[in-house]
Amino acid sequence: MLPPDFLAADLWGLSVAAWLTAAVAALMVGGLIHGKVGADLVLLSGLLALLLAGILSPSDALRGFANPGVATVGLLYVVAAGLRETGAVDRLTAPLLGRPRTSMGAVARLTAPVAVASAFVNNTPIVAMFLPVLSGWARRCHLSPRALFLPLSYAAILGGMCTLIGTSTNLVVAALIDAHRSAPSAADATPLEPLGMFTLAKVGLPIAVAGLGFIWLAHRTLLGAAEQSPDRKDSDPKEYMTALRVEPDSPVAGRTVEQAGLRHLPGLFLARIERPDETIVAVSPQQRLYAGDTLVFVGAVESVVDLQRIKGLTPAADEAAQRLQGPRHQIRLVEAVIAASSDLVGLSIRDAAFRTRYGAVVIAV
């Protein structure tokens, strides 16, 4: 910790503490732009540097974490993760997003529900929750995800301006106003009215409507067309086969193939359904799925990975199923290519001791 007299010393019109703070802030901005280190580590490192230098006291350094606005945003991340992991996001958004055929329809179907939802759930978790849904939905509809990410972000920002809890900035300002009103000196200061749930709506709602209209009309000019050819393949062209079993508690059990969202998958198709007493090939969209069914898919690697997000579908191989039991967020699906010079060439999976050697399970070849 640097001596207080040194920190208070004047240097070119500013104190040493001010110059050090500016230097730390510049390094933090550089770290965020560089992107090689996580934003949380960059910001916490800057906070720690100011704390160790004596510019911030421990109470000042920890005060931000006790802010109700910050705590609220953190809890909303937990809610968003729960909705994503349980598959509730997919079930809630599927009827809203549908299958638009034009760029205008896609942007309108995406931004309207996001703007409404972000007015009542903080906009940052909303964007984090919709990103994985948006990627899969765009591929199914033959749209470019890159032309939809920015409208998603701005729709969440516009919707968040309409209510108190829509954005973390509103929550922080509301907490500061409450602290000001309860301070002993508040009686002599200009009174500030507290922010209610819809205090900002009279200004935020017209801005949100105008902003959404601008996005709908100008997105194609500014961001390019969202449509892409159905024949375009962004993923690896190599075909990949895998079998997934429908678990008893799966939301797809009892639904048809089309209702379960397993039809018109990008770069992927349901080749057959295997049951103990029969095998169904040339699967119809109206074919009903039941618990215990083994679904055999063939397609591109990236599309097979998307199937892992569907709750209740697990790898059908007994060895893989046993190994993959556990929290879904701890499971990683990796594609590996055997080089011509590899010592694995010519060996079976068992002979290669793949699980012992690499700590992984082969679920498809």
Q: What is the pLDDT of residues 175-201, one digit of tens each?
A: 888 877 777 665 566 677 888 889 999
Please state the rounded mean pLDDT for residues 284-299: 86
- Contact by Cβ (8 Å): 242, 364: yes
Length of the chain: 365
Distance of CA 69 to the CA centre of its chain: 21
The answer to whether 46 and 24 have CB atoms below 8 angstroms apart is yes
Per-residue pLDDT at 205 exceeds 90: yes
Strand order in the sheet with 268-275: 278-281, 268-275, 294-300, 239-246, 313-315
Quickly state the pLDDT bin for 266 (edges 50, 70, 90). Answer: low
Average pLDDT, integer, range 105-125: 86
Q: Is the pLDDT of residue 335 over 70?
A: yes
Query: Who wins on pLDDT, 198 or 5?
Result: 198
- DSSP element (H, E) containing 227: none
So what's the pLDDT on residue 361? Answer: 66
- Token pair 């000019």 in the structure block, residue: 221
| pLDDT, tens digit (0-9, with 9 covering 90-100), for 30-43 | 998 887 888 888 98
Structure confidence at residue 221 (pLDDT): 81
Residue 115, burial from CB neighbour count under 10 angstroms (0-12, 13-18, 19+): buried
Query: Considering the chain, what is the average pLDDT of its residues?
Result: 78
- Tell me what pLDDT residue 185 has: 67
Q: Please give the structure tokens belonging to residue 148.
A: 């939809």
Q: Tell me: pLDDT of 322 over 70.
A: no
When pLDDT is cut at 50, 70 and 90, the band that residue 237 belongs to is very low
pLDDT at 192: 78
- Beta strands 313-315 and 294-300: pairing type? unpaired
- Tell me the pLDDT band of 231, cut-offs 50, 70 and 90: very low
Residue 239 has pLDDT above 70, yes or no: no
Lowest mean pLDDT, pick from 20-24, 46-50, 83-87, 179-183? 83-87
**Is it the case that residue 26 has pLDDT exceeding 90?**
yes
Evaluate if pTM is beyond 0.95: no
- Burial label for 18, CB within 10 Å (0-12, 13-18, 19+), is middle
Residue 46 has pLDDT above 60, yes or no: yes
- Three-state secondary-structure class, residue 295: strand
Choice between 161 and 223, residue whose per-residue pLDDT is larger? 161
Q: What pLDDT was estimated at residue 228? A: 54
Place of tokens 């068992």: 350
Percent of residues, the chain, with pLDDT higher than 90: 11
